[in-house]
Structures are given as C-alpha cells and as structure tokens.
Amino acid sequence: MMAAAQATQPAVGDAYLVGRAQEGYLDAYELLVQRHSGMAYRVALRLTGNHHDAQDVAQEALIAAWENLPRFRSGSSFPTWLYQIVTRRALNKVSRGRPVSSLDLLPALADPAAEPATQTERNLAVDAVTDALLALPFPQRAVIVLHHFEGLSYAEIASVTGSTEPAVRSHLFRARRALGTKLEEWR
Amino acid sequence: MNDPPLVGPVGRPLLAAVTLPCGADVDLLLEQVADGRGTDRDAHQQQCVHCQAALSEFTALWVPVTELAAAPVPAPPGLAAAVMNQIRSHIGDVWYTLEITESGAIRIAARIVAALARDCARMIPGVRVALGRSTQGSSAALAEKATVGHRHPHAAVGVLGRTAVVDLAVAVTYNDPAHQVARNIQRQVITTLRDQVGLQSVKVNVTVDDILGDDER
C-alpha cells in the first residue's frame, strides 16, 4: 500500500518528515527509511566489509534513529545524524568482530563496452582498493569512506565523528597515504 | 600495470616522501587528486616537471578508488520493510471493534484505519503529501477498554466500538484553497471508512502544515 502510493508522492524535505515522525506519524518515518536505508547499508558495508554485518548495522541504526527521534534537534540534518549512528554501530560491530573478508564486499564492476582483459584488470584493481580499505585502521577507513565515497565535507565528518576539522584532515592525509601505499604495492 | 612506482627524492617511492624536490607537499598533491582537482594546476604546477609527474602518478593510482566509490551498492531488498516491522512490533496496537457476536469479535487495527485514510486523502485534488496516524490520547484508551475483557455480545458495540479518530497531516498545492481541500478530505475519508470498513462514526482531524509549489516535485 505504502510503496505504490509513495511512487507518486512528491519530494518533501527530511525536516518535514522528521517533524511528523516526532509527532507520531509512523508512515513519515517509513518514508525516511525508504529514502535513507540505501545509504545506511552502503556505508555499513564499506566499513564492516561484509553483507551480513552491514545488514545488521543498517537495521540497528535505523531502529536506533527511530528510538532516539525525540532527542533529534530540529534544524539538524537527518542524514548527517544517521551517518553518525551507522558509523558508531559499525565500529562496535568491527570491534567485536570477526576478521573482515573482502571476498563478498562488492559485485565486480560491469562495463559492457570493456574488453574482457580490461574488465578483469579493473575488477582486480577494485578488489585491491577494497582490500586496502579494509586493512586501514577503523578511524582512517571511516574518514576515507565518509569523504571520498559519501562526499561529506570535513565539517560534516567532524560532526559525524565528534572531532574537529583539522583532526579530520589529518586523519585523511594519513589514510590517503596508507591507501596509496598499498595500491602502489599492488601495481 | 607493471610500471615501477614513481620515485621521490633519494629514489624512495613517492608516497614515502614528504616533499618533492621542488618543495611541493606530497600530501597536498594527493589531496588535490583525490578531491578531483588533479587537472586544476596552479602556476607552479604548470611549469614544474616534478609536480606534473606526481599529479599524473597519483591520478593513475587513485582511479580504482574513484571507480569503487562510483559503483552502485543496492540495499538488500526487504531491509526497509524489516526495519518497519520491527518498529511496529514495539508499538502496541489500538483496536476498533466493528462487531461482536457469539462467534467472536471483529476488530480492525487503528493503524490500518489510518493507512486507509491516508491513501484516500492522497487521491484528493490539491493534496501533495498525506500522512496518517493512529488514534492517540484519551480516545485511544477508551477504544481499547471497549474491547478488552469483553464478555457480552453487542455490549461493547456502540459509539466507542465503531468510532474512529484519525489524524491526517497534509501538504497542499500552493494555489488550492487549503480550507476547501481539508473539507474535501474529511468528507471523502469518512465515506471511504464507512463503505470499506464499516466504521459508522469517524472523526477526521486534518492539519495542513505545508504548502508546496508546482515545481516542488
């Protein structure tokens, strides 16, 4: 019922939906979940390294966001807040965790125009990046994912991680070097 | 793929160096490339062979990172539904009693009534967004008591048993008269719930809390 009707709904802002959800309109929160569950899963996958953990983290984060909605400050950004919850849950999962496996992290990039040899080379390169990313310490992995994969600014990352912009930049310098060094070795 | 890495000063790999022979900071060059500004070369970089070589090397190195970042990662189907099912399981249902006979009670969950009302409201011209919620407050408590511990057929059916209170929050189109749209919503929702569910007494509270322009689609 919700999905079919939703297909014709115009875009309303997150702030509107959060406000209604805080007033008890559960279907407003359902629209937020539909809108942001992809992001939650994607970030969780890149931080934890496997689909199972990523699904757990994404689900827990979205439920935790619902439970903590009364504390959400109006005027704040819901996606930034959700990034914060997902990142913390992913850290908890990884800290408890089993060794990460990059074997099932992402599907191979499919480029119908590419020659098979080129496609294989690209997939190997992507695997190398995935392995290198998962080999980074969690704080460095988080800033790389949030900035270079999710497009967050230094200020937004500082807000997500409870840090400062200079600290974020410093982490990013180190993370890029570490990632680049591993990619150089692979080449 | 098998080219040796560019070397910095003293023959070390480039990323082992802090600066290039021209004094350029290696971290800043890598940041420039990683942030997509590898071709935005300043006056020095346009003239400097060390910087140009490093920027080219870093560009090649960073390509798979950019490709991985651009690769779509679809969420598993059912993730959103799983989240909402778990949330709903924590929220107690409020029930409206439609009929009680010797065979048992026919009840409908208040959230279903709210969903029907919401979907009906979305069909009204001028309505851009409609959200519905279950009965709240004292009406909810009264409706619940009417169905709990019931022993006698028909005893709980009456005003409370068949009365629904629905709250709708709507956003309407800028040029449509909000008051008229709200009235239309009330009329249509009441008719729909009576015809489709058998609810005889329905109170529909409509809050118009946003107005959207035609270009806000």
Give the 3-state DSSP-derived string for chain B, with helices as H, strands as E and coil as C: CCCCCCECHHHCEHHHCCECCCCCEHHHHHHHHHCCCCCCCCHHHHHCHHHHHHHHHHHHHHHHHHHHHHCCCCCCCCHHHHHHHHHHHHCCCCEEEEEEECCEEEEEEHHHHHHHHHHHHHCCCCEEEEEEECCCHHHHHHHHHHHCCCCCCCCCCCCCCCEEEEEEEEEEECCCCHHHHHHHHHHHHHHHHHHHHCCCEEEEEEEEEEEECCCCC
Neighboring chain A residues of B12 at a CB cutoff of 8 Å: none
Segment of B43-47, B94-98, B163-167 carrying the highest mean pLDDT: B43-47
Query: How far apart are the C-alpha atoms of B55 and B15, rounded to whole Å?
Result: 12
Determine the average pLDDT of the residues in B49-67.
Answer: 94
Neighboring chain A residues of B67 at a CB cutoff of 8 Å: 109, 122, 125-126
Q: For all residues of chain B together, what is the average pLDDT?
A: 81
Chain A with chain B: Cβ pairs closer than 8 A: 149
More reliable by pLDDT, A67 or B136: A67
Task: Name the residue among A25, A51, A184 with its Cβ closest to that of B5.
Answer: A184
| pLDDT over 80 at A104, yes or no | no
Nearest Cα residue to B121 out of B192, B179, B176:
B192
- Check if the beta carbon of residue B24 is closer than 8 Å to that of residue B48: yes
Q: How many CB atoms lie within 10 A of CB B30?
A: 25
More reliable by pLDDT, B158 or A55: A55
For residue A15, give the chain B residue with the closest CA. B210
Residue with tokens 């990313």: A133
Query: How far apart are the C-alpha atoms of B110 and A60, rounded to whole Å?
Result: 27
| pLDDT over 60 at B145, yes or no | no
Q: What is the predicted pLDDT for the residue at A88? A: 95
Pairing type for strands B163-173 and B201-212 reads: parallel
Q: Residue type at A130? A: T
For residue A60, give the chain B residue with the closest CA. B83
pLDDT tens-digit readout, A10-36: 568 999 999 999 988 998 999 999 999
Nearest Cα residue to A70 out of A108, A127, A21:
A21
> What are B89's two structure tokens?
């399981």
Interchain pair B133, A122: CB under 8 A: no
Task: Name the residue among A40, A66, A130 with its Cβ closest to that of B87.
Answer: A66
Query: How far apart are the C-alpha atoms of A61 and A69, rounded to whole Å?
Result: 12
Rounded (10°) CA dihedral B37, B43, B44, B46: 70
Nearest Cα residue to B1 out of A83, A60, A122:
A122
Coil, strand or helix at A171: helix
Q: What is the predicted pLDDT for the residue at A53? A: 95
Neighboring chain A residues of B19 at a CB cutoff of 8 Å: none
- Check if the beta carbon of residue B131 is closer than 8 Å to that of residue B169: yes
Q: What is the predicted pLDDT for the residue at B214? A: 65
Q: Residue type at B216? A: E
Interchain pair B86, A63: CB under 8 A: yes
Residue with tokens 């109006």: A74
Neighboring chain B residues of A63 at a CB cutoff of 8 Å: 83, 86-87
Neighboring chain B residues of A66 at a CB cutoff of 8 Å: 87
- Check if the beta carbon of residue B21 is closer than 8 Å to that of residue B9: yes
Query: How far apart are the C-alpha atoms of B71 and B91, rounded to whole Å?
Result: 38
Q: How many CB atoms lie within 10 A of CB A162?
A: 10
Query: How far apart are the C-alpha atoms of B16 and B35, rounded to whole Å?
Result: 21
Interchain pair B15, A181: CB under 8 A: yes
Q: What is the predicted pLDDT for the residue at B158? A: 29
Determine the average pLDDT of the residues in B38-52.
Answer: 95
Q: How far is B65 from chain A (nearest CA, A)?
A: 6
